[in-house]
Structure 1
Amino acid sequence: MKNNKAFTFIEALVAMSILMMLVVTIIPIHTLMKQERKVLRDRRLIVSKLHDELQHMVWSNEELQHVSITINQRHVNIEFQLENELIKGCATWENVKQKEETFCLFGKREERWIHDD
């Protein structure tokens, strides 16, 4: 009878160890994946806004400007500058991991010709 109790105890101990190993590995992985999803979501939204602002700069003859906006609770600085014949638009923000990210897009202003037909 004593051997049976010892076997049950060891079996419970092994089961608990397996459960703890799963918890210790799955929770950090889940947390990391959740954090990375937020980083990618923020990046996608910010790059989309940068693209929209760059399109506006390309199609208008306005002076290049700096824009500070908040996207998804992230403070984003968008700066435009002329590089050769291209407009360079860069967005800079601090991501969920407290790392500074910068993403740049380029656009070219086309000369528009008005034709009298």
Structure 2
Amino acid sequence: MKQNDNGFVMSEIIASFSIFLTIMLTFTPIMYQIVMEEKLMEDRRNLQSLLHDELQIVLSSDQGLPLQEKQTISSTLVTFTFTIETKYIKGCVRWDNEKQTQEKICLYGIPN
């Protein structure tokens, strides 16, 4: 008696589907974490650049220090703070990142 061996067995389909599902369930959180970290790094770069620009304006002007201003950038509330520390002016920016933790970046400049 001859058997027909040309088809898939249900156990092969279940095994291949479980391997596929395992791979997808492993890579989905990793990809989410990568996208989240990319967004955090983009925010840090943009806000550091804005802080640099704001610090240049403060350094070249005669505004009274300490100075604090709040802005909404990309639907995120950020606070710029400028103070005098010894012979430098310290500029900081604070914001709540995508992970709902507060971040702070500071730059220093020598006043004119």
| TM-score of the aligned structures, taking structure 2 as reference length | 0.87
- Asked if the contact 1:94/1:101 (under 8 Å) is kept, the reply is yes
Q: State the 1:85 CA deviation.
A: 0.5
Q: Distance in 2 between matches of 1:63 and 1:25?
A: 54
Match in the other structure for 1:68: 70
Cα-to-partner distance string for 1:4-56 (whole Å, 9 max, x where unaligned): 7xx71221121011111111011111111111111111111111111111001
Higher helix share: 1
Cα-to-partner distance string for 1:49-101 (whole Å, 9 max, x where unaligned): 11111001111121121110011111001101111100001100000010100
Unaligned runs of 5+ in 1: 111-117
Q: Distance in 2 between matches of 1:31 and 1:15?
A: 25
Match in the other structure for 2:83: 81
Match in the other structure for 2:17: 16
Aligned length: 106
Match in the other structure for 2:105: 103
Q: Distance in 2 between matches of 1:101 and 1:14?
A: 46
Identity over aligned pairs, percent: 36
Q: What amino acid maps onto 2:87 in structure 1?
A: E
Q: Distance in 2 between matches of 1:15 and 1:26?
A: 17
Q: Distance in 1 between matches of 2:44 and 2:110?
A: 23
SS in 2 for 1:91: strand
SS in 1 for 2:63: coil
- Backbone CA RMSD of aligned residues: 1.4
Q: Distance in 2 between matches of 1:100 and 1:20?
A: 36
Off by >6 Å, runs of 4+ in structure 1: none
1:42 aligns with 2:29: no
